Amino acid sequence: MGRFVVKDAYFKRAKSDGFRARSAYKLKEIVEKYPIIKKGDKVLDIGCAPGSFIQVISSIVGERGLVVGIDILPVKPFPSCNVKLITHDIRDIDIKVLLLEHSIEYFDVITSDISPNLSGIREVDNRNFYDLFLSVVNIIKDGLKEGGFALIKAFYSESLKDMENELKSLFKGVRLFKPSASRSVSSEIYFVCMYKK
């Protein structure tokens, strides 16, 4: 009972704080512990709808920074001029074209909170998530600057170690972190990836 009261509080807080989703508090907690986003950064947010990560990132990077959000679903526009939104499936995004279109050489930070539509069949959901993870990794390879940071949501599964190894080959430091704003019944966890090689 106590646990539900606490977790529900994030939902209510998001409403009263004007966040589009409770996920905002997960990102806030992560960047407090690992300050991977700074003022002026150019950030790509993958799987961004409805946009609460974008709200947090936009306030950190400020008006000289930029947040580009991509989701397969349309996202309600933001008034802030440092936010650009793209409606697209990340599995067929051409990151080099996207960089050119936004006159960016590379992103400083890439965040991914992407999750597939769940079928309820564990093997299918794990495979679908792993496919999305590989697309995120390809975007990181070509779109993130050397020395850049990434934050990637994952789910506990047999593939978690493979994902960690893949990320360790790309970054000097990789940490696993579960924010307390993430429901304890959820198997989600975040990879905090530091200093792209």
Point out which residues bind ligand SAM (CB under 6 A): 20-21, 23, 47-53, 70-73, 89-91, 113-116, 132
If the CB atoms of residues 160 and 168 are measured against ligand SAM, the closer one turns out to be 160
Determine the length of the chain. Answer: 197
Round to whole Å and give the CA distance between 50 and 134.
Answer: 23
**First CA to last CA distance, the chain:** 45
Taking alpha carbons only, the member of 85, 89, 78 closest to residue 102 is 85
Do the beta carbons of residue 51 and residue 69 sit within 8 Å? yes
Do the beta carbons of residue 190 and residue 164 sit within 8 Å? no
- State both tokens at 137: 């990794």
What is the chain's Cα-based Rg?
Answer: 16
If the CB atoms of residues 72 and 168 are measured against ligand SAM, the closer one turns out to be 72
If the CB atoms of residues 99 and 139 are measured against ligand SAM, the closer one turns out to be 139
Minimum distance, C-beta of residue 172 to ligand SAM, in the bound complex (Å):
25
Minimum distance, C-beta of residue 146 to ligand SAM, in the bound complex (Å):
26
If the CB atoms of residues 115 and 157 are measured against ligand SAM, the closer one turns out to be 115
Amino acid at 146: E
Minimum distance, C-beta of residue 95 to ligand SAM, in the bound complex (Å):
13
Query: Bridge partners of 145?
Result: none
The distance between the two most distant Cα atoms of the chain, rounded to a whole number of Å, is 51
From the candidates 26, 28, 42, 153, give the one annotated as an active-site residue: 153
Is 153 a known active-site residue?
A: yes
Minimum distance, C-beta of residue 91 to ligand SAM, in the bound complex (Å):
5
Which residues participate in catalysis according to the annotation? 153
